[in-house]
Structure 1
Amino acid sequence: MPEGHTIHRAARDHRKILKGRALRVSSPQGRFEEGADWLDGRVCGDVEAYGKHLIYRFEGEAILHIHLGLFGRIRKRKMPEPEPRGAVRIRLAGDTHLVDINGPTACEILDPDDLARLTARIGPDLLRPDADPNLVFTRISKSRSSVGKLLMNQSVLAGIGNIYRSEILWRQRIHPDLPGKDLTREAFDRLWADAVQLLELGVKRNAIITVDNAAPGKGRYRERVNIFGKDNCPACAGAITRVEIDTRKAYYCAACQAL
């Protein structure tokens, strides 16, 4: 599943090429023909990200909601309009570029009330200017669940994915099993500030970079990380521990992140 910076990067890029344009909307795969017909020819007013959800606003208060889930994929492609690659659920075509979306978990038309109900279920998004850290700390400080679980609970805090979770906790020397109620306000404030900084860098560089002063890597996701998927801690050279938290792999250094 994409991390939050990926969705915000997509929203930023799509806003540049689609906002203010009457779009040709189609469903090459055929599974979203009715929705595509409803949107076809409408002007796109804006594109936003809420956590891991993409929101395309169209004239007439029509809203397209996309959630990629584990297997969804977005491709931005230049005109002239190319042949679809794979099973494209929806194609949004402007005058210079188009956006193809394959395999999303959610691809649906919402009205403003539907959108309000959706966003009410999503915790404050680190990358949105309206994010309220006080609300997040209140929820965490009342919970007996581990900080490692809470950071991935999108109803508590939106935007942090699996790699960022391990990396931020290591950078802040917080054990993933620490109960939320035991996280101090000072430690939370440092975690929040670090998470915002790293996700903003991720949007800017289109890569997960958690190593200070590092450039993007050359791998598939261009990440540069400290402990995720690594054997040894770069700070103390001790062995990195791998665990599963709610079926997702996580990494920590028992020496640097003492419980």
Structure 2
Amino acid sequence: MPEGNEIHRFAERHAAALAGKRLRVDSPNGAFPDAEILDGRTLKSVEAVGKHLGYVFGRDLIVHVHLGMYGDFWEGQMPLPPEKGALRLRMWSKTDWVELRGATDCSIFDEEKWQALLARLGPDPLQEESDPAPGFAVIEKRATPIGLLLMDQTIFSGIGNIFRAELLYRARINPMRPGKEVGRDALKKIWREAKTLMRAAMDDRRIVTTRATDRPHPRGAVQDQEVHYVYRRHGKPCFVCGATIKKQEMGGRTVYWCPECQKV
């Protein structure tokens, strides 16, 4: 599932290409039947919050997109490419086009429904004005493992499985530790690093969380096998201490950690 960095990247790119322009809109596979309502309208803005996108054509004409596990966008410059695959939504101007496939949701929200969605979401590290204090306050009261709390989009929005694993490793916190035992200083560090690492990941669609000094090859370009400390590195040695990285299921997803660097 795309994490917040990818969602914000889509918002920036699609706004730059299409916002302020009168668009053609269709749904080649018929899975977005309201496409004809938007056809010929001007896209005013593209908003990103956590893992949600809003394409604003009017106060009560907001296309909500949640990519889920399998959704993705294709994009490019005109002319339109041949229709291919389960093409759910297509938007294009005289110069640029965007195609959506496989999303969990693609539907029109009115302003009330959009605001209700935003009200349910926690602070987003990629929104400069986001205040993490409400999220900290929730975590400090909960006995739930921090590994589950970081994936709860009502606490912090946009953090997914990769950043969950890597942020906890960098903070040296075991994912099974109860939220109320993490501490405010550690939560502040997690928030700061989420802002920095997620913003960096927007630039090139590559999530790199390791520090150069911890990599087997500290100089030169980051090698693919060195971009993460623990995510999908189960059974391999920790870059820092050499212990074997572990994994287990948590809340329907796989969590990864180092048993030495991240003791409970």
Question: Which TM-score band (shorter chain)?
Answer: over 0.9
Q: Does the 8 Å contact 1:205/1:216 carry over to 2?
A: no
Deviant stretches of 4+, over 4 Å: 213-219
* Aligned partner of 1:229 among 227, 232, 244: 232
Question: TM-score by structure 1 length?
Answer: 0.94
Q: Does the 8 Å contact 2:59/2:110 carry over to 1?
A: no
- 1:216 deviates by 6.0
Runs of 5+ consecutive residues of structure 2 not aligned to the other structure: 213-219
- 1:71 deviates by 1.2
Residues 90-101 of structure 1: matches in 2 within 5 Å?
90-101=89-100
Amino acid at match of 2:232: G
* Aligned partner of 1:258 among 249, 253, 263: 263
In percent, how many aligned pairs have the same letter?
40
Runs of 5+ consecutive residues of structure 1 not aligned to the other structure: none
What is the distance in 2 between the residues matched to 1:8 and 1:212? 24
What is the distance in 2 between the residues matched to 1:31 and 1:23? 19
What is the distance in 2 between the residues matched to 1:208 and 1:249? 18
Counterpart residue number, 2:61:
62
- 1:218 deviates by 5.8
What is the distance in 2 between the residues matched to 1:6 and 1:217? 21
Q: Does 1:208 pair with 2:211?
A: no
What is the distance in 1 between the residues matched to 2:222 and 2:80? 31
SS in 2 for 1:44: coil
Residues 1-259 of structure 1: matches in 2 within 5 Å?
1-33=1-33, 35-59=34-58, 61-213=60-212, 215=221, 224-230=227-233, 231-259=236-264
What is the distance in 1 between the residues matched to 2:231 and 2:178? 22
Q: Does the 8 Å contact 2:59/2:111 carry over to 1?
A: no
Amino acid at match of 2:5: H
Q: Deviations over 1:105-134 (max 9, x none)?
A: 111111110101111111111111231110
Amino acid at match of 1:16: A
Q: Does the 8 Å contact 1:227/1:234 carry over to 2?
A: no
SS in 2 for 1:55: strand
How many positions carry a matched residue from both structures?
255
What is the distance in 1 between the residues matched to 2:123 and 2:222? 27
Amino acid at match of 2:21: R
SS in 1 for 2:112: helix
What is the distance in 2 between the residues matched to 1:49 and 1:6? 10
Amino acid at match of 2:25: V
